[in-house]
């Protein structure tokens, strides 16, 4: 290949050369300037490349279309004023969405908080009308995984003075930690208050449940919350939930019940899979290791079960499956009470 | 006209994502002509361009909280616009590489009377029209919108080598055409 031609394309390809040719400031600008002045042999190619770069810029420049610019800007401003993406060409679809929005708004305003304590100015609505969970990140860094058919609303001032959002349906929250501004989820009569943690809120007409994955979560009815003075809001008559715990709020009875999540996770970082592998292990130790790994209270009669021993590896099963196996071996039964596991049986006699 | 409050793309984009109206306005004013220009390269249908650009800005506003960070807003928007247009006009904006689309230099050029700036540009413009659509698009992204080869490849949805090939073969044709014309011109003028 002709080396002079090679140099020409080389120049054309070089990003910093292109900036020099177009007189755009860059870190390399002076280098090219010196190079140009100091290498007469290169000048022909450099000039040719520079000319072509400038010409290509000029020739492809269309007259600025200010009319179109204004037209698009106006319609963007009008349409973004509230709610979502309505394309000019999707009028039919937009009518359907609007109907959905109106219905949502109706349901929303029917609830007591909408008009008083929780009135959100210039609210932003995020909804998930797809069939898959939709993940969004709020301005404070909190991640929200919105289940299909669910939506969240929050004010434009979210994260400025406080962090509060209204949920309809179900969502998993991984809340960015900020002790100054507690994160509040208001859902169908229940207020969930956290500083930084991860949890799921799920609500339907009759009940709301809050399942905790990590951290500490407080829940209380919206009614109690709105009765409290601001200064008391950190004290609270709230129910405090730990990881693997779940609160169920019944709207009808306005009652809160504590329970365990469906599939508790091993939360103790020190727990190794081997901790749940048992080899002729006494029952007391089995229960202690389980309680420790899942950070759950297990209540049983130590004397009664002192003779029981277990040999089995339970590394992969869910907690409740593990309990099934253990109880079968020990000829016992378990039940849940207030997020505690009660083991009942006659023990093992040989 | 909005004043440019944010100098760096990174900061501008972050402010926009946090819901700043001035940042949104600044992005619009700064990028709109580039987007219209690129749209016009892809389709002559102005209504379609208007529609797509409007959708694009509404969508980035409505979904700003979950947009990824970027340090090259123009690249981000051009790519999104191309995706939109290719959805609205399937086939008009292709991503399948077609070998036969790589044009060969043609010798049919008008011989121009004066070697001034305008005629030089006119010649270049005619030479550009001889390129395949994909070569034209790649050259447009590279030498009008000032993107890197990598970014050109990502916008056009082709691999890096293909993008380089479009650009290189395009430049080669332009170069050859221009030299050819210059030669022709000299021959003509010496007659």
Nearest to A60 among B49, B120, B144 (CB): B144
CA distance B105 to chain A (A): 17
Helix (H, G, I), strand (E, B) or coil at A339: coil
CA atoms within 13 A of residue A93's CA, in its CB half-sphere: 8
Do the Cβ atoms of B57 and A76 come within 8 Å?
Answer: yes
Cα distance between residue A20 and residue A47, in whole Å = 11
Cα distance between residue A117 and residue B142, in whole Å = 55
* Residue A258 host element (H or E): strand A255-260
Say yes or no to pLDDT of A155 above 90.
Answer: no
Whole-complex ipTM: 0.75
B42: chain A residues, CB-CB within 8 Å: none
Do the Cβ atoms of A72 and B54 come within 8 Å?
Answer: yes
Share of chain B above pLDDT 90, in %: 25
List residues in chain B touching A: CB distance below 8 A: 17-19, 28, 32-33, 36-37, 40, 46, 49-51, 53-55, 57-59, 61-63, 65-66, 120-121, 124-125, 128, 139-140, 143-144, 146, 148-149, 167-168, 171-172, 174-175, 178
Cα distance between residue A314 and residue A274, in whole Å = 9
The pLDDT, as a whole number, for residue B61 is 87
* pLDDT confidence bin for B108, thresholds 50/70/90: very low
CB B29 within 8 A of CB A77: no
Nearest to A12 among B46, B53, B171 (CB): B171
* pLDDT confidence bin for A102, thresholds 50/70/90: low
CB A343 within 8 A of CB A299: yes
Say yes or no to pLDDT of B116 above 70.
Answer: no
Cα distance between residue B77 and residue B141, in whole Å = 12
Do the Cβ atoms of A18 and B143 come within 8 Å?
Answer: yes
Do the Cβ atoms of B37 and A87 come within 8 Å?
Answer: no
CA distance A105 to chain B (A): 18
* pLDDT confidence bin for B139, thresholds 50/70/90: very high
Cα distance between residue A253 and residue B113, in whole Å = 92
Test mutation, B8, B13, B18, B19, chain A, max A CBs within 10 A: B19
Do the Cβ atoms of A12 and B53 come within 8 Å?
Answer: no
Most confident of A204-208, B81-85, B119-123: B81-85
A65 touches chain B (CB under 8 A): yes
CA torsion A8-A13-A17-A21 (nearest 10°) is 70
Report strand pairing: A183-187 vs A163-168: parallel
Do the Cβ atoms of A64 and B33 come within 8 Å?
Answer: yes
The whole-chain average pLDDT of chain B stands at: 77
């Amino acid at each position: 290949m002709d080396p002079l031609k090679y140099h020409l394309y080389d120049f054309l390809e070089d990003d910093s050369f292109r900036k020099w040719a177009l007189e755009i400031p860059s870190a390399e600008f002076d280098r090219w300037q010196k190079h140009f002045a100091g290498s007469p042999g290169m000048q022909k190619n450099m000039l040719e490349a520079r000319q072509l770069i400038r010409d290509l810029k000029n020739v492809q420049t269309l007259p600025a279309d200010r009319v179109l610019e204004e037209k698009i800007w106006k319609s963007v401003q009008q349409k973004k004023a509230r709610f979502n993406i309505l394309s000019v060409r999707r009028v039919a679809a937009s009518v359907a969405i609007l109907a959905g929005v109106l219905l949502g708004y109706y349901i929303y305003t029917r609830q007591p908080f909408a008009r008083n304590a929780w009135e959100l100015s210039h609210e932003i609505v995020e909804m998930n009308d797809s069939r898959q969970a939709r993940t969004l990140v709020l301005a404070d860094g909190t991640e929200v995984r919105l289940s299909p058919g669910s939506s969240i609303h929050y004010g434009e001032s979210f994260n400025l003075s406080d962090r509060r959002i209204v949920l309809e349906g179900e969502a998993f929250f991984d809340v960015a930690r900020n002790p100054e501004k507690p994160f509040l989820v208001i859902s169908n009569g229940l207020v969930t208050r956290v500083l930084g943690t991860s949890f799921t809120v799920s609500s339907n007409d009759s009940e709301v449940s809050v399942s905790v994955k990590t951290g500490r979560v407080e829940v209380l009815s919206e009614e109690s919350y709105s009765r409290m003075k601001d200064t008391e809001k950190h004290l609270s008559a709230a129910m405090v939930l730990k990881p693997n715990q779940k609160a169920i709020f019944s709207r009808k009875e306005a009652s809160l019940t504590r329970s365990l999540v469906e599939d508790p996770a091993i939360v103790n970082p020190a727990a190794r899979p081997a901790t749940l592998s048992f080899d002729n292990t006494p029952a007391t130790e089995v229960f202690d290791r389980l309680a420790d790994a899942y950070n759950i209270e297990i209540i049983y009669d130590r004397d009664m079960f002192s003779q029981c021993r277990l040999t089995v590896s339970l590394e992969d099963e869910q907690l409740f499956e593990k309990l099934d196996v253990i109880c079968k071996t020990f000829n016992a039964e378990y039940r849940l009470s207030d997020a505690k596991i009660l083991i009942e049986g006659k023990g093992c006699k040989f | 006209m909005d004043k440019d409050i944010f100098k760096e793309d990174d900061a501008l984009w972050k402010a926009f994502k946090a819901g700043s109206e001035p940042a949104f306005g600044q992005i619009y004013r700064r990028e709109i002509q580039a987007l219209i220009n690129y749209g016009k390269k892809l389709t002559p249908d102005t209504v379609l361009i208007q529609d797509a650009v409007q959708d694009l800005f509404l969508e980035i506003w409505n979904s700003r909280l979950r947009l990824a960070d970027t340090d090259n807003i123009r690249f981000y928007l051009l790519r999104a616009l191309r995706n939109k247009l290719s959805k609205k006009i399937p086939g008009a904006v292709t991503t399948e590489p077609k070998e036969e689309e790589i044009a060969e230099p043609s010798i049919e050029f008008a011989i121009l009377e004066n070697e001034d700036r305008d005629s030089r540009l006119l010649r270049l413009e005619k030479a550009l029209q001889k390129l395949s659509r994909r070569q034209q698009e790649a050259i447009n992204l590279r030498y009008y919108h000032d993107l890197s080869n990598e970014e050109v490849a990502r916008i056009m949805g082709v691999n890096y080598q293909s993008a380089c090939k479009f650009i290189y073969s395009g430049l080669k044709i332009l170069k050859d055409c221009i030299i050819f014309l210059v030669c022709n011109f000299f021959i003509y003028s010496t007659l």
